[in-house]
Chains A and B, each alone.
Chain A
């Protein structure tokens, strides 16, 4: 007996928990990775100096980078899990728009990025736009 397809959709709270898990893990991963890459300096300069191998080595010897990749991997499998249980038309717009705003907030707090009025406006515009486009 095969599993009936499409299967029953989970409840609203379960769906919210699945999406929140992806948003939290991906935001953590993005911020850690961005912090790692920022600590390296311009990768194009490094490559011009010590070749592609040198650039790869510079990335792979940064512990912060692996912490970031770990959380991005968690986010990736949480996404696969969510896509298997929820409709793409719910997951894609929710994730794309939520992560944009959480990332802007996290970048402001943890990376001390200058998120000026222009970037906040962009975050909101792109957030609504992605929602409309993916809906």
Chain B
């Protein structure tokens, strides 16, 4: 027995909420996927390159610059550049706290790839990690991708109607 105006208000409210949800296009999901995959692959290349190198001290930092031109470090940097370009684009239409879990999801993708493609075994501990990351990313992905900036403040409206 609610008055029609009330239901109308409710309808407008849900409509506004769904608009504030900022659902992503398939293209944007693809870009987030690129963000997720390129970063861990690039990091793997970097760590492989750096651990096969003799110790570098702070006294001779030139060795760090020379390290950039070895094949593993160079391909790692190329992958990280691809990651950075897609990451920057994603940041223009989504919050930092929305994009960052996507980068963490890359670790899950790499772990699953190494399981089903390279047939590496995954310990119970790592499976738990995969489940936790997937849950966390699921939480964020169900929420809005961008903080609403132009939302009208209810206090201001109250002052106006008084």
Contacts and interface: CB of A to CB of B under 8 A. Distances in A.
| Size range of the chain B interface in the assembly | 35 or more
A88 B51 contact: yes
Contact of B47 (A92, A96, A107): A92
Interface string B68-84: 00000000000000000
Interface string A97-135: 000100110011001111110110111111011111111
A67 interface: no
Given A113-B97, A122-B140, A133-B108, A85 B55 contact: yes
A63 to B, nearest CB: 15
A61 interface: no
Interface residues of A, number: 53
B91 A126 contact: no
A46 to B, nearest CB: 8
A81 B64 contact: yes
A103 B96 contact: yes
B80 to A, nearest CB: 8
B140 A3 contact: no
Interface of A: 2-3, 5, 7, 30-31, 33-34, 37-38, 40-44, 59, 77, 79-81, 83-85, 88, 92, 96, 100, 103-104, 107-108, 111-116, 118-119, 121-126, 128-135
